[in-house]
Structures are given as structure tokens and as C-alpha cells.
Amino acid sequence: MIYMDNAATTMHKPQEVIDAVVSAMSSMGNAGRGASEAALSASRIIYDTREGLAKLFGAENARQIAFTSNSTESLNIAIKGILDPGDHVITTVLEHNSVLRPLYEMEKKGTELSVIGCNEKGMPDIAAMEAAIKENTKMIICTNGSNLTGNYVDVAVIGKMAHKHGLIFVVDASQTAGVFPIDVQKMDIDILCFTGHKGLLGPQGTGGIYVKEGIQIRPLKTGGSGIQTYNKEHPVQMPTALEAGTLNGHGIAGLHAALGYLEKTGIDNIRKKEENLMWRFYNGVKDVPGVKIYGDYSQKERCAIVTLNIGDYDSSEVSDELLMEYDISTRSGGHCAPLMHEALGTVEQGAVRFSFSHYNTEEEVDTAIRAIRELAEEP
């Protein structure tokens, strides 16, 4: 199978990630729950992974990184742990349901929500974002890269604007962590939500949240922490405040190995290859009659995503044909991005998303180009 659904999850992982998970499954105890070598080994791996993520994201302190199961959990923590009735929050139509649904929940509880639109190429209106700020605005939350169009959002510009108005700035880095450079301090990011199973090349069920020192978040979960056992309240110190229960140590061991792979390979090198594959595919299909491509391709910096439709064909039909006739795995439908599809006018048809990994090859891309050309020629 030619796997081109990496925006959903990177199926091909570095061998060292697989080896690390297998090794952890037979040797790892429970971090912070004992003094055995197995428990201490787990603690060391988790500590080292936290340090690696802090270094990757430019965090001021590794303690400000808490582990979660994915971006969805991280975003729920950020949204539900900070917003209150009467607060105002600003987001965009680019967002994934991992942002939108928690915001809609908070809206029902009395939080005021403003959703900023985009232009015809799917880029958010940052001027409108600033114009929407009010006296009770507490937070701006937006994606660093659209999972539908692949548009890269310059969050540093938004972060600077948010801080000028004294707002908390939350970034969804699901599509960019591990591929694009992220420095939370230089980019004025207060809370960074990321997942381990996409660009970070780690196992599913891993992820995390960076919280700037001084920001207090109500935990989504409370319970066992390994410390302060006799306290009726859950510990408030980071990262324990957001890490109730046993962590996914086996997955974190894989994530630790993935960070080593990223450092050795270089995220700039990974991004360059992915972008080259993306542009090769885009240039090969953009002029095919009947093919419509979504997104802003005037941008040099883009996530390695090309989303398209062929004529009036339902996207699921095209995606099925790609799989059955060409053995190419893509993603069709709504991509958990309902407002972006509304903005693009693709709610009924959906769209076919090709998303590339540095493990893909030029030969695979050329096969995908040929497939689109042949499908577009069919009566």
C-alpha cells in the first residue's frame, strides 16, 4: 500500500521507535510508584522525554510539559481548564473538532465564542481576530497548520498580538510538531497542544501540553499522582497537576526514541523532503481538467498536504477508487474540520486529502499523479 494519510497518523515509524516500545513492554514499571529498578527506569524515560520535548519546543522549564494521550486531550485541558462563564474566546474556521467541540460545550455553559473567518484560499483573517477582542476576552486559540488545506498559520504574529492585549494564546500544533520549528517563548505561545503520533513519529496514545509558568489550569482529571497521597486535593504543581493516573510509559518510551530520531535526522531535512513531495504532487495534478485543489499555494511554507476534488464526484468514491485500483491510502469526507469545509463550499462533496511523510518516495507520488489523471479522464 502507498500510504498518503500521514495527517491522520504517520503509519511508518522509525525502527528505533518500534524497538523502544517492545523493550519497554517487557521491562518498564510504573513511574513514581516505587523504588524498584523497573519503576526507576520508567521514571528516567519519562523525565528524559519531558526534557527532550522542552528542548524541541523552547520551553523555559521541562516541568511545564505534561503528558496526555493526544492533542484532543491537551486541547480539552486548555479550554475547559481556563475558560469560565462570562469569558470571551476567539478561534477560527480552520479549527479541528478537537478545538470546536470543547468550545461549543463551554459556550453552552456561558462562555462567549467568536469564530473568525478566512479568505477564499483558507487563510485566517488576523485583522478580524484583533478587531474581535473585547473587554472580557480571555483567550485566542488557533491551529498552527490546517489539517484540511495544509495552510501554515504564522502563530508568532497572533501570539504577539494576543500578548499586546494581555490574552492567553493557545496553539494546536497537531500538524506541525516535529516538522516545523516551534519556540514557545519566541512565538509568544502560552499553551501548546501536540500529539505524538503524527509529525513527532511516536506511538498513538501519546501527546502533551506545554503550559507557560504562572498559568493555572483546572485539571481535566484528578486521582493518583504518586505524591501527596494524604492530600484530598490533587497536586497543583506542574506537571503532576495535569498527569493524574498512570502515564502511557510504553508509548512515551517510543516517543523518546522518536525524539532521538528527529534530532539525528533533523526536522528541517524532514520538512524539506515532505515539502518537495507535496510540491511534486501539486504540480503534477494542478492543471488536470476537472481537478480542484484547496488551499493557499502562494505560501512557500506549507504542511505536506494537498486536498482536492475531481469534478462532482463524491470524495469517498474517489478515495475508494484510489485504494482499490491503485492501492493508495488517502482520507476523504469532512476531516473533522466542519467550518473549513463550509468556508470552502465542500460540505456535501467532502474532499480527498493526500498527506505526505518523508518515508514516501517520488515514485509513489508519481503513481498518485497518474491515478488522479486517469480518474479525471473517466467519463
Please check the confidence at residue 357 and state whether its pLDDT lies above 80: yes
Domain of 39, in residue numbers: 15-265
Number of separate domains in the chain: 2
Domain presence at residue 305: yes
Please give the full DSSP string across 163-204, using - where no structure is assigned. HHTT-EEEEE-TTTTTTS---TTTTT-SEEEEESSSTT---T
Candidate ranges 31-35, 51-55, 222-226; pick with highest mean pLDDT: 51-55
The pLDDT confidence band at residue 291, using thresholds 50, 70 and 90, is very high
Q: What does the alpha-carbon distance between residue 4 and residue 334 come to, in Å, rounded to a whole number? A: 17
Percent of the chain clearing pLDDT 70 (strictly above): 99
Please state which of the ranges 3-12, 231-240, 300-309 shows the lowest mean pLDDT.
231-240
Answer for the pair 363, 328: CB distance below 8 angstroms, yes or no.
Answer: no
Backbone angles phi, psi at 73, to 5 degrees: -65, -40
Please check the confidence at residue 228 and state whether its pLDDT lies above 90: no
Q: What does the alpha-carbon distance between residue 296 and residue 152 come to, in Å, rounded to a whole number? A: 9
Domain presence at residue 234: yes
* CATH label of the domain that carries residue 322: 3.90.1150.10
Q: Is 377 helix (H, G, I), strand (E, B) or coil?
A: helix
Average pLDDT for residues 321-336, to the nearest whole number? 97
Q: What does the alpha-carbon distance between residue 287 and residue 315 come to, in Å, rounded to a whole number? A: 19
The pLDDT confidence band at residue 32, using thresholds 50, 70 and 90, is low
Domain final residue, candidates 265, 298, 327? 265
Q: What does the alpha-carbon distance between residue 117 and residue 99 come to, in Å, rounded to a whole number? A: 15
Please give the full DSSP string across 203-255, using - where no structure is assigned. -TT-EEEEE-TT-----S--S--SS-TT-SSPP-STTGGG--S---HHHHHHH
Reported in sequence order, the residue ranges of the chain that DSSP labels E, i.e. its strands, are 2-3, 65-68, 88-92, 112-116, 137-143, 168-172, 191-195, 207-211, 291-294, 305-310, 328-329, 352-355
Domain final residue, candidates 250, 265, 280? 265
Q: What does the alpha-carbon distance between residue 372 and residue 362 come to, in Å, rounded to a whole number? A: 15
Domain presence at residue 9: no
- Tell me, what amino acid is at 259? L
Q: 335 and 204, same structural domain?
A: no
Q: 243 and 151, same structural domain?
A: yes
Domain final residue, candidates 233, 265, 297? 265
Average pLDDT for residues 251-277, to the nearest whole number? 98
Q: What is the mean pLDDT of the chain?
A: 95
The pLDDT confidence band at residue 42, using thresholds 50, 70 and 90, is confident
pLDDT of 379 reads 61
Q: Which residues pair with 114 in a beta bridge?
A: 90
Q: 273 and 260, same structural domain?
A: no
Q: Which residues pair with 66 in a beta bridge?
A: 209
Q: 329 and 251, same structural domain?
A: no
The residue with greater pLDDT, 33 or 274, is 274
Give whole-number Cα distances, 268 to 179, 186, 271, 273, 352, in Å: 7, 18, 5, 9, 27
Dihedral, 69, 331, 96, 346 alpha carbons, nearest 10: -170
Average pLDDT for residues 316-335, to the nearest whole number? 98
Percent of the chain clearing pLDDT 90 (strictly above): 88
pTM of the model as a whole: 0.96
Q: 320 and 250, same structural domain?
A: no
Average pLDDT for residues 350-355, to the nearest whole number? 98
The DSSP letter of residue 314 is -
Q: 102 and 44, same structural domain?
A: yes
The beta-carbon contacts of 24-32 under 8 Å, at least 24 apart in sequence, are 24/249, 24/250, 24/253, 24/254, 25/250, 28/249, 28/250, 28/253, 30/246, 30/249, 31/226, 31/246, 31/247, 31/249, 32/225, 32/226, 32/227
pLDDT of 226 reads 78
Q: What does the alpha-carbon distance between residue 93 and residue 108 come to, in Å, rounded to a whole number? A: 19
pLDDT of 34 reads 64
The pLDDT confidence band at residue 22, using thresholds 50, 70 and 90, is very high
Q: 290 and 260, same structural domain?
A: no
Q: 276 and 242, same structural domain?
A: no
Q: Using one digit for the tens of pLDDT, what is the confidence trace for 163-199?
A: 999 999 999 999 999 999 999 999 999 999 999 999 9
Q: 218 and 336, same structural domain?
A: no
Q: 341 and 260, same structural domain?
A: no
* CATH label of the domain that carries residue 180: 3.40.640.10
Domain presence at residue 8: no
Q: Is 317 left (phi over 0), alpha (psi -120 to 50) or beta?
A: alpha
pLDDT of 233 reads 86
Please check the confidence at residue 33 and state whether its pLDDT lies above 80: no
Domain presence at residue 34: yes
pLDDT of 35 reads 66
pLDDT of 268 reads 98
Q: Using one digit for the tens of pLDDT, what is the confidence trace for 58-71?
A: 999 999 999 999 99
Domain presence at residue 235: yes
- Tell me, what amino acid is at 372? I
Q: How many CA atoms lie within 13 A of 31 on its CB side?
A: 22
Q: 275 and 220, same structural domain?
A: no
Q: 166 and 128, same structural domain?
A: yes
